[in-house]
């Protein structure tokens, strides 16, 4: 049975009615030359990564379904005369990469993942297979506008990070990979974000079989 001990948890969201002061608060402490190009998701990733311990030997797993939805929308909105500037923004390094650059945190292992309802399971399996015994799993989404209406973006902007380890000492929670299935259906990152804010145990299915069980310690 695979075990991943959760040493630290960080989670933040972008308020729906956020004013300019919220944007300023998320940018505070970041280099000006980097922050002017950072997306909302990247700023959220920077916030949660700041609260994680840093070591260049610690692996980073990044999971996002659509990543920078706003940049993609802006680029597609520029057609039929596509904007080179908006194209550049749409292919800019993804949220966690932008955050690591702004925070000046080089890492030896970086695993970016995309997916849908089983994305968190994929991220956990990747963390368990990482060469490093210490892993920071960072995940998040960016609120879309018309992509949301098409079911291709999320309804809010958020990010969370988990410091995962093989060490049980001082852990806040543990995730067990079990062979027994669960009645729980596959879950998106939004539901994981919400569950991390509650001190209740939960399960998610693992692919191709089995389940992950979250247990608070």
Indicate the SS3 state at residue 204.
strand
pLDDT digits (tens, 9 = 90+) for 130-150: 999 999 999 999 888 887 788
The helix or strand, by DSSP H or E, that contains position 203, with its residue range, turns out to be: strand 202-205
Range with the poorest average pLDDT among 54-63, 118-127, 140-149, 156-165: 140-149
What's the burial of 151, exposed, middle or buried (CB within 10 Å: 0-12/13-18/19+)? exposed
Distance between CA atoms of residues 56 and 180, nearest Å: 36
pLDDT digits (tens, 9 = 90+) for 31-63: 777 777 788 888 999 999 999 999 999 999 999
29: left (phi over 0), alpha (psi -120 to 50) or beta: left
Read off the pLDDT band of 175 (50, 70, 90): very high
Read off the pLDDT band of 1 (50, 70, 90): low
Cross-strand pairs, 112: 62
Cβ-Cβ contacts under 8 Å for 159 (sequence gap 6 or more): 11, 12, 13, 41, 44, 45, 47, 48, 95, 138, 139, 140
Cβ-Cβ contacts under 8 Å for 110 (sequence gap 6 or more): 59, 60, 62, 97, 100
Distance between CA atoms of residues 158 and 172, nearest Å: 22
- Residue 7 in this model has a pLDDT that exceeds 80: yes
| Structure confidence at residue 91 (pLDDT) | 60
Mean pLDDT of 158-176: 95
Cross-strand pairs, 8: 163
Fold of 8-168: Peroxisomal Thiolase; Chain A, domain 1 (3.40.47)
- Residue 105 in this model has a pLDDT that exceeds 80: yes
What's the burial of 186, exposed, middle or buried (CB within 10 Å: 0-12/13-18/19+)? middle
| Structure confidence at residue 28 (pLDDT) | 75
- Residue 193 in this model has a pLDDT that exceeds 80: yes
Q: What is the largest CA-CA distance in the chain?
A: 57
């Amino acid at each position: 049975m695979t075990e991943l001990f959760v040493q630290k948890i960080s989670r933040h969201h972008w308020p729906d009615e956020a004013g300019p002061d919220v944007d300023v608060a998320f940018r505070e402490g970041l280099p000006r030359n980097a922050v002017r190009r950072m997306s909302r998701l990247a700023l959220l990733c920077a916030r949660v990564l700041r609260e994680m311990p840093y070591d260049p030997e610690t692996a980073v797993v990044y999971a996002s379904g659509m990543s920078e939805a706003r940049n993609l929308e802006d680029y597609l909105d520029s057609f039929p005369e596509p904007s080179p500037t908006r194209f550049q923004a749409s292919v800019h390094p993804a949220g966690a990469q932008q955050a690591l650059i702004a925070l000046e945190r080089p890492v030896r292992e970086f695993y970016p993942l995309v997916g849908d309802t089983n994305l968190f399971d994929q991220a956990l399996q990747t963390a368990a297979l990482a060469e490093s015994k210490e892993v920071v799993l960072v995940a998040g989404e960016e609120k879309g506008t018309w992509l949301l209406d098409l079911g291709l973006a999320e309804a809010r902007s958020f990010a969370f990070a988990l410091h995962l380890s093989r060490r049980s000492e001082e852990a806040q929670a543990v995730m067990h990979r079990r062979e027994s299935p669960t009645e729980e259906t596959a879950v998106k990152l939004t539901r994981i974000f919400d569950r991390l804010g509650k001190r209740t145990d939960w399960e998610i299915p693992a692919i191709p079989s089995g389940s992950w069980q979250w247990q608070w310690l």
